[in-house]
Amino acid sequence: MNYLHSLPKPISPRCEAGRYYLLNNYNPGYFGNGKNAYTDTNAANTVFTIPPSSVRSIGDELISKDVSWKYYGDQWNNYVPDPYQLNYNAIGKDTDEYCTICNPFQYDTSIMADAAVRTAHIQDTANLYSDIKDGKLPAVSIVKPSGLVDGHPSSSKLDLFEGFTKKIIDEVKANPKLWKDTAIFITLDEGGGYYDSGYVQLLDYFGDGTRIPFIVVSPYTTAGHISHDYADHVSILKFIEANWKLGTVTSRSRDNFPNPIATAENPYVPTNSPAIDDLLSLFNFK
C-alpha cells in the first residue's frame, strides 16, 4: 500500500477495513442442491470452504433489471446429486468433473439459497446445447467446460478445449436467427505463470495480472483485428452493463473504472489509469 501511495499518480488499494479478500481456491459456501457447504460436517475439506456470501454479483444485477442469464457448468447434472464427486463417470477420476470453484454464483446466497432462482440460472452444458438448438439462449450465457476439456495441463489438453469451444460456435452459427445477434467471448482464467514483457496496469492492491488470450467471435466483429485497448476479465462485466444499460455491480468493484484513454504512440498504456475497456470498440453494429 505504501508503494501504491508513493507513485506519481497514487493508486487506491480499494481495500475496505474489516473485510477479508480471498486470493486462492476455496470451495463455495453452497452445494449444487442449495445446502450450506460451510456447515457440512461430513466433508473432509470444510477447512477449505468459505461461508455463504452476501456480496452482490453480476447475476443479481441482471435479475434486478429482468435480463435473462444462465451459467452453464459442464457436468452440473452429475455434480448436484454427488456434491463430493466421489462417483465420477467412467472416463476417470480427477478429470471429467464439474468445477465448483469456477462458478462465482455458487458462493452467493441470493442465487443458491432460492431453489427457483438456482434452477433457473445454474444449469448443465446439456441445457446449453438444447437451448442453442431451440433458439432459446438467454441474453447472457456463461459457459464453463469440465476438467476433462478445460485445457488445464494437469487434466486436459488445449485441443480438447478448442474442440469444446468450436462445437458451441458451430452450433450457434448453424442457427441463423440466433447467430445474427450473438457475440461469443473466449478467454482463459490465468496466464500459466509465464513471464510477460507487456504492460501490466496497477489497478488496486490485487493487480492486474499477466496477459491472457481473449477472442471475440461475432458477425459484428472484424476477423483478425487486434484491439490495443487495455482490458481484463472485468471488461466482460463492463460490456454486459453497457450493452444492457445496467449499473455497476457494487460501488467499489472494478467495473466502476472508466474506459482507457491512450496516445497513438503508446496505445496499450491508459493515460487515465486505472482504466478498463468495455469492449464495445471491438464491434461495428451498423
Name residue 27's beta-bridge partners: 49
pLDDT at 23: 78
Mean pLDDT of 229-234: 95
Of the candidates 194, 196, 198, 99, which has an alpha carbon nearest to the alpha carbon of residue 151?
Answer: 99
Which domain does 79 fall in, by range?
Answer: 2-282
Q: If you search the block for the grid coordinates 476439456, which residue do you land on?
A: 149
pLDDT at 43: 57
pLDDT at 191: 74
pLDDT at 15: 87
CA distance 268 to 228: 5
DSSP track, 185-243 = EEE-S--TT----S-----BTTB------EEEE-TTS-TT----S---THHHHHHHHHH
Using only the alpha carbons of the chain, give its radius of gyration.
Answer: 20
Of the candidates 186, 176, 187, 202, which has an alpha carbon nearest to the alpha carbon of residue 4?
Answer: 202
Tell me how long the chain is. 286
Write out the three cell numbers for 172.
450457434
pLDDT at 190: 78
Mean pLDDT of 80-98: 72
Within the chain, strands assigned E span 69-73, 122-123, 140-144, 184-187, 214-217
ω into 274 cis (within 30 of 0): yes
Average pLDDT of the chain is 91
Mean pLDDT of 257-261: 97
CA distance 189 to 159: 16
pLDDT at 209: 84
Query: What pTM value is reported for the model?
Result: 0.93
Q: Packing angle between helix 125-133 and helix 158-173, nearest 10 degrees?
A: 30
pLDDT at 58 over 60: yes
Mean pLDDT of 187-206: 85
What total of structural domains would you count in the chain?
1
pLDDT at 46 over 90: no
pLDDT at 266: 94
Of the pLDDT bands very low, low, confident and very high (cuts 50, 70, 90), residue 88 is low
CA distance 257 to 68: 25
pLDDT at 51: 92
Count CA atoms within 13 Å of residue 175 on its CB side.
19
Would you say 276 and 231 are in contact if contact means Cβ atoms under 8 Å apart? yes
Percentage of the chain lying above the pLDDT 70 cut = 94
Q: If you search the block for the grid coordinates 505463470, which residue do you land on?
A: 193
pLDDT digits (tens, 9 = 90+) for 236-249: 999 999 999 999 99
Of the candidates 212, 211, 213, 228, which has an alpha carbon nearest to the alpha carbon of residue 262?
Answer: 228
